[in-house]
Amino acid sequence: MTAPPRGTRDLLPPESARFAALERLAADAFEGAGYLRVVTPVFEATELFVRGVGESTDVVRKEMYTFPDRSGNSLTLRPEGTAPVVRALVTHSLDKRGVPVKLYYSAPMFRYERAQKGRYRQHHQLGIEAIGCDDPALDAEVVEVGWEVLRRAGVGPVTLLLNSMGHLGEECRGSYLPALREFLAGQRDRLDPDCRRRADENPLRVFDCKVPQDQAILAGAPALDAFLCSECREHFAAVRGFLGDAGIPFEVAPRLVRGFDYYTRTTFEYRSGALDWAQNALGGGGRYDGLVERLGGPALGGIGFGLGVERILLAAEAAGGAPQAPRLDCFAIPLGELVAAVRLVRSVRAAGFSADLAYGERSLKAALRHASRLGARYAAIVGAAEREAGAATLRNMDSGEQDQVAIEEVARWLSER
């Protein structure tokens, strides 16, 4: 066996370095907005996702990796990030420390779906969750933080789709669903079997249908925004106002429902202008008032998003703005003076710079080629002449210019450049 399982892949340099750079820039954006990192288990009780994500969703019905453990418990590899974070909040009563609880994650997710470029059965998501407050300003902040990550990642033009799904009461969802069911009943014979099943089990899920002829039919369905109560209308208007004040353009998409049952009120999705329509969704999220309570916690609202790392890197590459991995600062080349070169590397690292060494005997020409492959900024050549002078020859790998620098001054010399 020489290949990884279908739908997975080995992440190798230099792409792995771009992956790490994206994680770092996202963490900087998240922490800059007051979010702290949370790490949840890779697998959870299956019931968490059935109750949280929704039994009628494609994720639960078709895509989860579920297995029994040796005690007969049903466990599932994490297919999405919100339910585990909410479970952790409930388990540890994090809301007792004050709300909103603001958390972020960078984690692998697992879904059994058709593998293709930019879509893997093991993929990675960056996400934030803000739990315990229903302020529309918080909704706008979450959307803005995601927008900022994409901007920093250099993905090119992004379209932000925005909607309100209203709340679960009689005035919003309660009055909309009968109208939607009536419409679907009149179109039932024209819908494909899977869409008919969705209409029976959970009518909102019909908007997840990917069949083109069904999509054409659903374009005539009643829009939820016509059924919003006054409070939800005001909330959505306030969210739009905050985003407008931030200078973030958006399109209102009345049929945007996202793929999970827990969403209420604000929903949103980021789409790339650098990728084709089949893979242009970079991520999205929404408000999930009621989820914390459904998973055994207090009646707290929340909002969050998940961004696809693989999709972001694809979009950044297509747009010519992929996050760049940090370059190696110094590559030491010992020409018979290994001890001096090792000491130089140690001192450069101690000063906070990255440094590596040409291990094993090799010629200057071969060592310089290796330094170039590694993307080193400078090569530090230490030979007999340098030893006699107590110095190293520092070569700029971009320009080829050289300077002889005293060994004890190398770190300072690098800092000045």
Q: What does the pLDDT look like over 287-312, one tens digit per residue? A: 999 999 999 999 999 999 999 999 99
Q: What is the pLDDT of residue 1?
A: 65
pLDDT at residue 213 in the model: 80
Supply the pLDDT for residue 259: 65
Q: What pLDDT score was predicted for residue 278?
A: 67
User: Mean pLDDT, to the nearest integer, of 19-38?
Assistant: 96
Residue 25 has pLDDT above 90, yes or no: yes
Claim: this prediction has a pTM higher than 0.75: yes
334-351, pLDDT tens digit by residue?
A: 998 888 899 899 999 999
Comparison of pLDDT for 195 and 133, the residue scoring more: 133
| Per-residue pLDDT tens digits for 259-288 | 677 888 999 999 998 887 767 889 999 999
Beta bridge partners of 334: 382
**Structure-model confidence comparison of residues 192 and 27, the more confident one:** 27
What is the mean pLDDT of the segment spanning 355-379?
Answer: 91
pLDDT, residue 162, reads 96
Question: Domains along the chain?
Answer: 15-172+228-319 (3.30.930.10), 173-221 (no CATH), 330-415 (3.40.50.800)
Residue 14 pLDDT: 85
Output 134 or 195, whichever has higher pLDDT: 134
* Paired residues of 102 in beta bridges: 130
* Average pLDDT in the chain: 90
